[in-house]
Chains A and B, each alone.
Chain A
Amino acid sequence: MSKRTFILILTFFAAAQAQAFCGFYVAKGNAKLFNHASQVVIVRDQDKTVMTMANDFQGSVRDFAVVIPVPTKIERGQIHVAEKALIDHLDSYSSPRLVEYFDPDPCAPPPAPMYMKNAVSEAITVSASAPARARSLGVTIEAKYTVGEYDILILSATQSSGLVTWLVENGYTMPKGAANVLGSYIRQNMHFFVAKVNMGEQARLGFNYLRPLQVAYESPKFMLPIRLGTVNADGAQELFVYVVTTNGRVETTNYRTVKLPSDVDVPLFVRKDFAPFYKALFAQQVKHEDMSAVFLEYAWNMSWCDPCASEPLSPEELKKLGVFWLDAGGNVFLTRLHVRYDREHFPEDLVFQQTGDQGQFQARYVLHNPAKPGNCDAAAVYRRELRKRQEHEAKNVAELTGWDLDEMRRKMHLNVAVVTPPEKKWWEKIW
């Protein structure tokens, strides 16, 4: 059997915790693959949880396999395959956004009210984007079946060494150190399932990419396991967690949850550089918080949005993501968390709690398009104020992203002295 590359995804585990996911890529042979961004959707009410997991696996699907820890015993029927488009939609709906305003012409009385053009809505997708032998090893194959393009094996193990031996004998490459983490999960009564791609089914279904896996379970553990993902990761991992609840915003209880800077005026060039702007901004905030915080990027009741970065999810889409209380009514509150983590700064799995905070939050950056006034007294004042505002915008973007301030000024053409007549005295404006 060929060796399979394998991603360990962690899911729920102990201590008032919800498990974060996403694992690590392990290269086939010795080659190293890097984990880029993982996305997890957690839909939760009471203790009922539906988790949808997607990753941007880059290798050959033939080499793909994943081990997912879950906090409870899983039966056939609790595992499902979702459409990638669902997560993409959720991502674009909740992503940081640009909002654009147009200055009124200072020479055109009466001043027109400011209006807002609907958001540029750059949906930044931070690209992210043999039973007997088993028994002798303390590994029980509880069930084996095919869901969509995946072959699923539900395992229960009593010892990590047995589980690791079984995985290795069955063609999975295990990263060094994974056995210890698996062992601690087994001690906490976690269960596991393995998913690998059934090439025949995949060809029959016609997908040329990996669809997200979904798992439904009921457990008080509100957590996401991230420890396996840091076992031998080279560098930091990127994770987006979208949590859908009923009562309000979700936050981590064992790490600080920090709001991403928002409602900041930024220069016009950010419109075309929004992706690098957002990435630099996020990197700068991670640095500022010493890589020890989880960032809140969006928190909103999904019944409305203003501005909407993309169309809200339809009831059908929400149901497919696992929002099981939709027919009974009840709020649908979305929290988007973004975390960059490594083993040093995030030693333990992410544990969540739902708060009663229904306040709206979005990571929002504001563009102001200057007016092009003619010649009037108000125009001179406007130009002076505009210059001040643009300087302020340059400083904002430099501070948020760590980019060089002079470079920002250069991009905004602020180095060219603007010839403006001296400001009139107040009495000169009377007559």
Chain B
Amino acid sequence: MKRFDPRLYQIGALTLLLLYGIFALGFDITLTRAVLLVGTAIATQAICAKMKGVAFDPRSATISGLSLSLLLRSESLMLLLAGAVIAVASKFVFRIRGKHIFNPTNIAIVALMLMSKHVWVSPGQWGNVAFFGFLIACIGGLVVNRAARSDVTYAFIVAWSALVIGRSLWVGEPLTIPFHRLESGALLLFTFFMISDPKTTPDSRAGRILFAAIVAFGGWYINYRLFRTNGILWSLAAAAILVPIIDALLPAARYQWSRAARGLATPPTKQPSNLATA
């Protein structure tokens, strides 16, 4: 039986979240800007595909555009659109052994935050409404299961929870504090929609669990030892550089969207990368 491409589920879920954010939570982005962001991401994909001579597929670019709309904030439209260009172009530029290195949305956000003081990410924008947490977790859970890489998500959430709760226990804080931190919509979005990206995580299950633990520790260190915000975003970008090393140490078959879409198991041998599915 033919299955839907998991990216279609992801596009649907991110669109719903974006509409909820704009109309119910008053995100600092307009619908027009979000449409321009997605449009720019798709256009960049089309141009890069043409330059590289590969087939054009707008789905991953749409996901990058939607994710940037959910996360990246700036007064400057040009900076937002630059984010969309960096996100998509990074897939074609930063490649090792035929696999792109960075999560496109993540690298765009981190690069812009390093280059400009006029962009920011608002981790508090979702609030801590439990109902919403459940909603996002359910939708996200569906996405990761379809993408067959839910192990990285679960490994991350276990590692992150252990670090946050462990720290609170160590300093003698009541458990309401770490639970409040774990209820964060921004954390759930990262866990279910960003770190779960099957194209930029290690190929082997052991590698992915190791990767998730590294990202969690890095993010925790930045937030709770260096006292800076958005630790997990910085940490994911830095840890991405380790993925080729993890893949070399713990090799396994490469993930392909096309096979997931057809409901096929990942082939047992390594496949050459296909830029069209980047």
Contacts and interface: CB of A to CB of B under 8 A. Distances in A.
Interface of A: 14-17, 180, 183-184, 187-188, 219-222, 247, 251-259, 289-290, 292-293, 347-348, 351, 353, 355-359
B53 interface: no
Given A16-B227, A348-B181, A356-B116, A184 B173 contact: yes
A220 B228 contact: yes
Interface of B: 25-26, 28, 73-75, 116-120, 122-129, 170-174, 176-177, 180-181, 184, 222-224, 226-229, 231
A17 B227 contact: yes
Contacts of B124: 251-257
A348 B177 contact: yes
Contacts of A348: 173, 177, 180-181
Contact of A16 (B73, B127, B228): B228
Contacts of A14: 171, 224, 227
Given A180-B172, A256-B126, A258-B26, A220 B120 contact: no
B227 A221 contact: yes
Contacts of B127: 255-256, 289, 292-293
A341 to B, nearest CB: 12
8 contacts: A16-B222, A16-B231, A184-B171, A188-B171, A221-B227, A251-B124, A356-B117, A356-B118
Given A220-B227, A256-B126, 15 more contacts: A14-B224, A16-B226, A16-B228, A180-B172, A187-B170, A220-B226, A247-B117, A256-B25, A293-B127, A347-B176, A347-B180, A348-B181, A353-B120, A356-B75, A357-B73
Which secondary structure dominates chain A's binding surface?
loop
B165 to A, nearest CB: 13
A16 B173 CA distance: 16
Given A14-B224, A16-B231, A259 B73 contact: no
Nearest to A354: B120
A94 B251 CA distance: 60
A134 B227 CA distance: 31
Given A15-B224, A187-B170, A356 B26 contact: no
Given A16-B223, A180-B172, A356 B126 contact: no
A180 B174 CA distance: 9
Point out which of A14, A257, A293 has the most chain B C-beta atoms below 10 A from its C-beta.
A14
B146 to A, nearest CB: 30
A355 B122 contact: yes
Nearest to A179: B172
Contacts of B180: 254, 347-348
A369 B117 CA distance: 43
B227 A222 contact: yes
A252 B188 CA distance: 18
Contacts of B117: 247, 356
A111 to B, nearest CB: 33
Nearest to B222: A16
B223 A357 contact: no
Contacts of A247: 117
Contacts of A290: 129
Contacts of A187: 170-172
Nearest to B180: A347
Contacts of A255: 124, 127-128
Nearest to B178: A348
Contacts of B119: 356
B120 A355 contact: yes
Contacts of A355: 73, 120, 122
Nearest to B184: A254
